[in-house]
Chain A
């Protein structure tokens, strides 16, 4: 079921999806989200695409309950974002994520794993460290890691509890191509509902099946990647389709 279908049918139960309805959020006088409504059905992978300042990061922070909306409703599989049920399901990677600088790599994973009550924590950590080729840095101070390795650790911290709903903000930043590939595979294997914010189309194409395009805090288009491609004129790149959508020319 795609977003469009669910909207035309007009009957969602609210549960079993990531849902924002008429959400407004302003920082002082800056309106970041202006009545944004999106829905991502359970199990689907969507990209949140938009230019800088469109409100992508704000959307994700609202979804994980680090911010509170001024108006509108938000639910994660039927639960409010700050509820324990939602917290258990959610895995969140912020933009330019920074792990605990006061802990080493392994300590970060142990601490967050313990806070989340992850079962068989040691195995889980060992597996993530080796999968992300971080094992040799496990005792390093986070401050001494390269930016790429720090991003790998952040990915591991976001996924340590095998979340069912994954929200990622520009997740492939700083990662080299082999690592990007590994992260994409890890995400595929999770079988989670995923929303990835990005302003880079190629990343959206690799990670997701659907796209939601937002600009100036409003949704301007949503549909499957195939539908997005179908919008292209002959010899028009998908990037320019998105630009057309974002600038409201389409």
Chain B
């Protein structure tokens, strides 16, 4: 479903601030893979998602989604294939527009936007039903401005927006990191349900090792712009945090850098 082929990304190339964020990374996701991504701060997790989404151009390599080489496609054209949820709850929705308007915008992802009404009665009924399934009482807030909702509510709706038009690929970048633990658990549960119901292919970055082990069928670990660990199948199911830390030390020759990950 997704092929990342020898992708390299260098920020501020040729200056003293040169930073190799990704170094010759290759990764292939099968149809239906739900991959969790862990790694210390600055390991390149966000960058790899941004490369796939087309936020910045790659310096080398290719990105192929479902057989289509999208390496040269601009971000808004790749959006046809990709649903995204960001770490910052403010980033995924338009704060001054209503909940239902946000959903309607997402419902037309990958479609030419013309002179039909931005939202129809039929749309509203559909969104109400979907919001009900989130079980957060949001079905009564369809005409609230998005900016009035809490971070958790916004992330839940962003998830809905990312999956409303079934994407070939779902990209989640620490989308629960800004939430309190209870809300984070709820949003993760919604994520898992949406991925399973729609049998989506997904890449989920998380700073929480427990979550990385509990969710998905495959786990990769990144360090210094490289994928240093790739665990799937039975091995993934039987992972423990201790084993993971040990693997990290062995693969990278250093202690795992993020205290955050250990604590949570």
Are A and B a genuine interacting pair, yes or no?
no
Task: Report which A residues bind B (CB closer than 8 A).
Answer: none
